[in-house]
Chains A and B, each alone.
Chain A
Amino acid sequence: MLSFGNALSGARAAAGLTVEELGRRCGLSGGEVSALEAGQPTTGAVMDRCALAFGLRVDDLQRGEAEHADLAMLFKRSRAITAGPRRGALAMLELDENLGLSRFSRSVWELYDLLGALEQPLPQLPDLSRQWEARPQDQRAGEHLARIARRELGLTPDGPIDSMRRLVEKTLHIPVLYSGEDEVDPRIHGASLVHPMPAVLVAANRLRPWVTRMTLAHELCHLLFHRASPVTDPGGLSVNAGEGWVLDGAHEAREQEANAFAAAFLVPGYALRQLFQGQRHDTPGAVKRVSQRFGVGRKVAVNRVVDTFELSSARRQSLLQTGEEWVADFSDDEVRPSECGLQQGVLRARALEALVAARITRTRARSVLGIPDDQPIEDAGLTDDLAAPVLPPERRLGLRLQRLLEEQGDERIVGEVVRIEAGGYEASLHDLDGVRVGMATLDAEGNLVDTKHA
C-alpha cells in the first residue's frame, strides 16, 4: 500500500495531469493538491474526491491502481489529442468537466470487489482484436467483424439476437450499468471499460429497447475488437459520444467501426438477403419488417437495407422520410426504471446478495448503495436487522453531541446516551482518562439542553 500522498502523486503522473488540472476535478487548488502529495493530513471526504477523479475508491488509489485505470489513461490520451492542432474526440473530456464517467468507473470497481466477495465469476471475454486487421475506408468492416463475433460467441450467423441484454449480461457475464437522469452527461450515449473487468455503461437517454440494443452492440465491439488497438493504450475506456462531436481520425474510425459492427451484428447482411429472396426490399414495408424482425430502429433498418442491397442515397433519404411509425417489440431488452442508476441494478443486486451472505458489512453495503445511515435499506429480501438504520437513535445522538462539544472547545468525551422516562435523553461526559465528570441533557428531538460538571 502506498501512502495517500504518494498514491495521489503517482496517479497524477500516470494521468499526465498538472496539480491545477487535478485540483479542478477535486475542488481543490493546485497548492492544496501539492500539499496532499507532500503528505499533509486531510479529511476522508477530500481523499474520496481525489480518488473519484480517477474513477477509483481511496483503497484502489492507494494500491496504485491509477497507473492502470482506464480513466487515467483516457486523461492522458485526451491530453495528447487536445494538444494537437485539432480538438479531438476526447476534447470533450475537458479536465474540469464532470461527465459522470468517474462514477461509472468507481461503480465498476465496487462491483468487481463484490463479485470477488461472492466468489462469482468475472466476465471472460475473448480478445478478438488479433483476428481483425482494420483497413481504412473498408465499407464491409462491420459485416466482417459481426461475422467473426457471432462465430466466436457461438451464435448463429444470421438469426436475430432475441435479447442483447441477455447475451451481454447473462451469457457473457458482462455487467451493464444503466445510468439514471443527471448521472452522466447527456452527450454521452455509452461507455465501456476493461480494467478491472469488462463493463458497459448505457446512458439514460439510450433506454428505448432498440436503442439499448444498438448501444450494447456498439460497446461489445469495443470490448471484443478494440482492446489492443494500436490507436489507443492496451485496454482503456471507450466513450460512445453523441453526434456532433468532432473526432480525431483514429477515434473516429474506431467509433464508426463500432457503429457498423452494431448494425451488422444485429442485422446480418446474409440474413437480409435470405429474408427478401424474391421479394421487394426497397419499400417502407420492407424497412418495417427488418426493424421488427431484428429489433432495430427505423434509421438502422433503412441503412442496413440500403447498404446490403446497394441502393442509392436518394432511396435512403426517401425511405427515411416515409412510412408509418412503429415500435419494434423486443421487450426483453427493456430497462425498468428501478434498474436505472449507477448504484442500482446489478450493483445493488450484488451488494444486497453480499450483505445477506455476510460477505460485506452493513456499513459497506450502505456506502456502495449510497444509503444514509439513518434510513432503512428498502428491499423485501432483507431481514429487519439488516435493513434497519445502522446506528440506533441513541448512538447517533451521542456522536452528534460529541461533534457539538468539540465545536465548542469542550474536551470531554461523550459516553453512552440513554432515554429518560421524563422524555429526552441523558449522556454521561468523561475526561480523557475515562472518568465521569459531567452530564448532558437533551430534549426529545435530541437538541442539547444543558451540560453539567460533576
Chain B
Amino acid sequence: MKSAPGRGERQLHLLQSQPGSCQAACLAMALAQRVAGAAPREIEARLHGAHERKHPINTVGSNEPGVRYIPADGDDEMVQRFRAELNGGAMLIVHVLGSPWVARLPKGVTGPRGPLAVSGPSGGGIHSVLIASLAEQEFVVLDPWYSNDLQPLLVSDDELRQVVTGFRAVVVEPAAGPPRR
C-alpha cells in the first residue's frame, strides 16, 4: 500500500465524525459527488444513526437511486468487476478486515483518534473504506478513520484481496453526465 497525497481524490476525503460511522462517511464522500454543492458532513449526519437499528448501507441501498450491491468475493472476478465499475465512473465501498488493513497502511498515516482498533479475541474488527478511482494498476482508496494528510492510498489488487471481508460491496454510480475522470 502506498500513499499518494498529490492526487486529486484527496479533496474528496471526509474524516468520520465518530467511531462506527465509517460507512456513513464513505457513503457521504461518494454521494456528495453526485449533487453539486452537497455537504458531505451533512450527508454523513443524515445517514449515521438516522434509522434506529437500520444500517446506513441498507437504508441508502434501498432509498437512493444509483446505489446498489455487487459481490466482492475476494477473487480475480472481483478485481475485474471493481475495475469495470470504476472505469465507468462509479465509486465503491468495501468492508475490510481491520488488522490486515492496518498492518498494510503506509508509515505515518495517522488520525485524531489514533490507530484503528483491531483487537479482539478472534482477530480485528471490520472497517469500511471508499475506492474512489483507479490509478494504473492500483485502486485509489480513501480511509475515513485517518486524516487526509497522506491520502489517498494506492492499493494493489493483491492487497485488496488480502483485506476484503468478502461481504458485498456498495456501488455508488456517477451522476448523469460525463465521467468524473
Residues of A within 8 A of B (CB): 1-4, 41, 43-45, 47-48, 58-59, 62, 360-364, 366-367, 373, 390-391, 395, 398-399, 401-403, 406, 413-418, 426-428, 430-436, 439
Q: Is the CB of A58 within 8 A of B126?
A: no
Pull 9 A–B residue pairs with CB atoms less than 8 Å apart, ordered by A: A43-B77, A44-B77, A361-B157, A362-B158, A399-B164, A413-B95, A415-B120, A415-B122, A433-B55
Q: Is the CB of B120 within 8 A of A433?
A: no
The smallest beta-carbon distance between A11 and chain B, in angstroms, is 14
The smallest beta-carbon distance between B78 and chain A, in angstroms, is 7
Interface size on B, residues (CB 8 A): 51
Complex: A432 Cα to B54 Cα, angstroms: 9
**Which B110-165 residues sit within 8 Å CB-CB of chain A?**
120-128, 137, 156-158, 161-162, 164-165
**Further pairs besides A43-B70, A398-B166, A439-B122: 20, Cβ < 8 Å:** A41-B68, A59-B83, A62-B88, A361-B157, A362-B158, A363-B79, A367-B79, A373-B75, A399-B166, A403-B73, A406-B167, A413-B126, A415-B122, A415-B123, A418-B122, A427-B122, A428-B121, A428-B122, A432-B58, A436-B122
Complex: A125 Cα to B98 Cα, angstroms: 52
Complex: A45 Cα to B78 Cα, angstroms: 9
- Could you say which of A3, A62, A395, A418 contacts B162, with CB atoms under 8 Å apart? A395
Contacts of B161 in A (CB 8 A): 363, 390-391, 395
Q: Is the CB of B166 within 8 A of A403?
A: yes
Complex: A367 Cα to B125 Cα, angstroms: 30
- Could you say which of A2, A44, A364 contacts B78, with CB atoms under 8 Å apart? A44
B5 interface hit (Cβ, 8 Å): no
Q: Is the CB of B84 within 8 A of A4?
A: yes
Contacts of B106 in A (CB 8 A): none
Q: Is the CB of A413 within 8 A of B167?
A: yes
Q: Is the CB of A415 within 8 A of B125?
A: yes
Q: Is the CB of A413 within 8 A of B123?
A: no
**Nearest A-chain residue to B78, judged by Cβ:** A44
Contacts of B73 in A (CB 8 A): 399, 402-403
Assuming the A-B contacts A41-B70, A41-B171, are A416 and B166 also in contact, with contact meaning beta carbons closer than 8 angstroms in the complex? no
Q: Is the CB of B80 within 8 A of A434?
A: no
Complex: A216 Cα to B124 Cα, angstroms: 58
Contacts of A439 in B (CB 8 A): 122
B41 interface hit (Cβ, 8 Å): no
Q: Is the CB of B158 within 8 A of A363?
A: yes
B22 interface hit (Cβ, 8 Å): yes
Contacts of B95 in A (CB 8 A): 413
Q: Is the CB of B84 within 8 A of A428?
A: no
Complex: A227 Cα to B167 Cα, angstroms: 49
B42 interface hit (Cβ, 8 Å): no
List 6 tightest A-B contacts by C-beta distance, closest first: A416-B123, A402-B166, A44-B81, A434-B126, A428-B122, A399-B166
Contacts of B171 in A (CB 8 A): 41
Contacts of A48 in B (CB 8 A): 77, 80
- Could you say which of B22, B99, B137, B168 contacts A364, with CB atoms under 8 Å apart? B137
Assuming the A-B contacts A41-B68, A416-B97, A434-B22, are A47 and B167 also in contact, with contact meaning beta carbons closer than 8 angstroms in the complex? no
- Chain B, residues 64-78, CB within 8 Å of chain A (1/0): the string is 000010110111111
The smallest beta-carbon distance between A10 and chain B, in angstroms, is 13
The smallest beta-carbon distance between A57 and chain B, in angstroms, is 8
- Chain B, residues 21-55, CB within 8 Å of chain A (1/0): the string is 01100000000000000000000000000000001
- Could you say which of A4, A44, A361, A434 contacts B137, with CB atoms under 8 Å apart? A361
Assuming the A-B contacts A4-B88, A361-B137, A403-B166, are A43 and B81 also in contact, with contact meaning beta carbons closer than 8 angstroms in the complex? yes
B11 interface hit (Cβ, 8 Å): no
Contacts of A399 in B (CB 8 A): 73-75, 164, 166
